[in-house]
Chain A
């Protein structure tokens, strides 16, 4: 099983701050890494696919980068509505797996 480890697990943030979330894979997964946002009491929402590809309708302040075993999700100029949990997910292996999540809270 490919294990995804996210950091940090929790971050207290302020509006307009630049936020970076990291996801490390236990094996090389190429660019088969995707990011989701889950707001409280809502279903997850796809933000970024294949490490850096944007999704229609997602604000441009969200971007992704990385390949192999190290990936990052960046939120430029965070807005209050971005308070949520963020998960990475890999599709390189048959058993699809998620990171444990990163929760953002407004300071």
Chain B
């Protein structure tokens, strides 16, 4: 059984950066892409990008290009998502999710990032 555990909630100032982690256990970590999906309060789901650990290659949604960086530490089965130049509209719950053939089959518990001055 795959288990994804994310880091805790963050409160950030506008213009700063945040880095959220997602540690995976169970399953073949390196063989699957890991994606980040966010959800603003009361809103829907938005895909931000993904990384394939075995290739150490990341791809990003056009909307977030230049502002998001997804990295992986294969020694600890941990994926990171860093979002820079934060603004109030980035306040959301950020989820990591394992991507299997186009679907998201396992999800982390979510990390609330609040951006406020």
Contacts and interface: CB of A to CB of B under 8 A. Distances in A.
Interface of A: 1, 32, 34, 36, 43-46, 49-50, 87, 89, 91, 94-101
Given A44-B45, A95-B47, A97-B47, A89 B59 contact: no
Contacts of A46: 103-105
Select the residue from A43, A46, A91 with max chain B CB neighbours within 10 A. A43
Question: Chain A binding site: helix, strand, loop or mixed by DSSP?
Answer: loop
B66 interface: no
Interface residues of B, number: 19
B102 A34 contact: yes
Contacts of A101: 44-45
Interface in B74-110: 95, 97, 101-105, 107-110
Nearest to B59: A94
B46 interface: yes
B117 interface: no
Question: Chain B binding site: helix, strand, loop or mixed by DSSP?
Answer: strand
A43 B108 contact: yes
B15 to A, nearest CB: 26
Contact of B95 (A34, A43, A50): A43
Contacts of B103: 34, 46, 49, 89, 91
A36 B104 CA distance: 9
B46 A98 contact: yes
7 contacts: A43-B109, A46-B105, A49-B103, A87-B45, A89-B103, A96-B102, A98-B44
**CB-based closest 8 A-B pairs:** A91-B102, A43-B107, A96-B47, A98-B45, A101-B44, A100-B44, A34-B103, A49-B103
Given A34-B102, A45-B107, 10 more contacts: A1-B62, A34-B104, A46-B103, A49-B102, A87-B44, A91-B101, A91-B103, A95-B47, A96-B61, A97-B47
A91 B100 CA distance: 11
A41 to B, nearest CB: 9
